[in-house]
Amino acid sequence: MRIGKIFGIEISVNPSWVFIFALVAYSIAQPMGPLSAVSLNTSERVVLGVIASLLFFASVLFHELAHSLLARSRGVPVRGITLFIFGGVSSLEDEPTTPPSEAWISAIGPLASLVLGGLFALLTTLSSHAPALALMFGYLAFANIALAVFNILPAYPMDGGRVLHALVWRATNDRLRATRIAATIGGAIAIVLIVGGAAETLFTGSVGGLWTTFIGWFLLNAGTLERRQSEVQSTLRNRNAADLIASPELRARADETADRVLHAMREDRVRVLPVYVADRFIGFVSIDDMAKIPLDELSRTYVTAIMTREEETEHASPSDDANDVLRRMARSGLQALPVVDAQGNLIGLVTRDSIMRWLSSHWTKDGDRVATAVRTP
Ligand SMILES: [Zn+2]
């Protein structure tokens, strides 16, 4: 859910954030919470709880904005910021190009949280005449410092893990190896969190342990995904669109019906085919397009009725950067990206299948893992 833009950066909130909002508001407003030391009625406590939640929300946003703004100033385009149950995430369109860039872009978030924590601590002292406010600011100071400390854990892909990645990258001059090392350490920390949290719940009966397990599990997944994406990016680096095109001899004719083309797709094990009238490329049709047609109508539907038309789609040129092509496809949700030469003739389609085939033929030992990453835009 989009909520607006700050400095041209799109801010979204995942529905899971509502849970955190409620949790923060409740933990402050509940009768036994930090406000129990002062005498307030229920509605006063609820108001302070909601204000604290909003300020906490602003704190997480501030942390992410620090990452995003520094990334942008260092030439890394920012897609947007999403706040969700475990905090926030800044989506960068590309990886930082140098180790110092990565280190600073990662470190600035926890630093921003520390500064904010200090600021709230100062507000706590300044509002000593209003104990309820002082308690709320004290809570926020604690929350921001906890946010900084938690994020600086060297658990890739958290901020500290990314700093570690940048250091290993600098030391080894090998980015892919740095990713593997950082991801392995991050995975080990995630497992410690999972096991430690489970043990805590088991032996003390505290629910907090479950939360730790949950965070560890999330980290483990996020780390694996990051690592796969990074491996794909490294493999595609310095390649271009022409390397990734599907076999150009596989095509559908405009006068064919959907059931026949579907049959051909199954035979050739592809999900997308370019559609031609004689030698002229007029669009492409995918399995997904077929799935929108009731089964009994496939034999009466021409592919031209369901295809993506040539004039409706984006194009790539043969020399376009391969990672750029992958990003454009993920962003536009297109099933295929036609690669055309300077005269406007189709050289071939880049599809997710063709990218996966290219990757697995250049990286046979890990074909499966690569495939998963390509499917996850
Ligand atoms: Zn961060």
Residue with tokens 């509502």: 18
Distance 322 CA to ligand 1 centre (A): 28
pLDDT given at position 375: 46
Distance 68 CA to ligand 1 centre (A): 10
The type of residue at 11 is I
pLDDT given at position 112: 94
Q: Residue 302 carries which DSSP code?
A: B
Please choose, from the candidates 183, 180, 221, 239, the residue with its C-alpha nearest in 3D space to the C-alpha of residue 361.
239
Distance 226 CA to ligand 1 centre (A): 15
Please choose, from the candidates 64, 156, 170, the residue with its C-alpha nearest in 3D space to the C-alpha of residue 110.
64
Distance 159 CA to ligand 1 centre (A): 5
Residue with tokens 């369901």: 306
In the chain, where the domains are located: 1-152, 155-237, 241-375
- Give the Cα separation of 105 and 69 in Å (integer): 9
Distance 133 CA to ligand 1 centre (A): 27
Q: Considering the entire predicted model, what is its pTM?
A: 0.71
pLDDT in tens, 24-34: 777 777 766 66
CA 24 to chain centre: 25
Distance 108 CA to ligand 1 centre (A): 8
Distance 240 CA to ligand 1 centre (A): 32
Average confidence (pLDDT) per 10 residues, the chain, 377 residues:
81 81 76 67 77 87 90 85 77 81 90 94 86 84 89 86 91 85 89 89 80 86 83 81 82 86 86 88 87 84 86 85 84 84 85 83 54 46
Could you list which residues have their CB under 5 Å from ion ligand 1?
109, 151, 159
Q: What is the DSSP string of 232-263?
A: HHHHHTT-BGGGGPPPTT--EETT-BHHHHHH
**What CATH number belongs to 241-375?**
3.10.580.10
pLDDT given at position 299: 83
Distance 57 CA to ligand 1 centre (A): 14
* Sequence-separated contacts (24+) of 103-108 with Cβ below 8 Å: 103/162, 103/163, 103/166, 103/167, 104/70, 104/74, 105/67, 105/70, 105/71, 105/74, 105/76, 105/162, 106/67, 106/159, 106/160, 106/162, 106/163, 106/166, 107/159, 107/163, 108/66, 108/67, 108/70
Distance 273 CA to ligand 1 centre (A): 42
Q: Give me the residues paired with residue 89 across strands.
A: 82
Q: How far is CA 369 from CA 105, 328, 376, in A?
A: 28, 21, 11
Backbone phi, psi, residue 337, to 5°: -125, 110
Distance 94 CA to ligand 1 centre (A): 16
**Token reading at 179:** 């990713």
- Give the Cα separation of 168 and 179 in Å (integer): 9
Distance 157 CA to ligand 1 centre (A): 10
pLDDT given at position 377: 39
- Give the Cα separation of 273 and 307 in Å (integer): 10
pLDDT given at position 117: 94
Distance 113 CA to ligand 1 centre (A): 9
Distance 70 CA to ligand 1 centre (A): 12
pLDDT in tens, 86-112: 677 777 777 788 889 889 999 999 999
pLDDT given at position 108: 92
Distance 345 CA to ligand 1 centre (A): 45
Distance 309 CA to ligand 1 centre (A): 42
Backbone phi, psi, residue 201, to 5°: -65, -40
CA 212 to chain centre: 22
- Give the Cα separation of 228 and 376 in Å (integer): 10
pLDDT given at position 111: 94
Task: Answer yes or no: are the C-beta atoms of 184 and 196 closer than 8 Å.
Answer: no
**Token reading at 326:** 């992958």
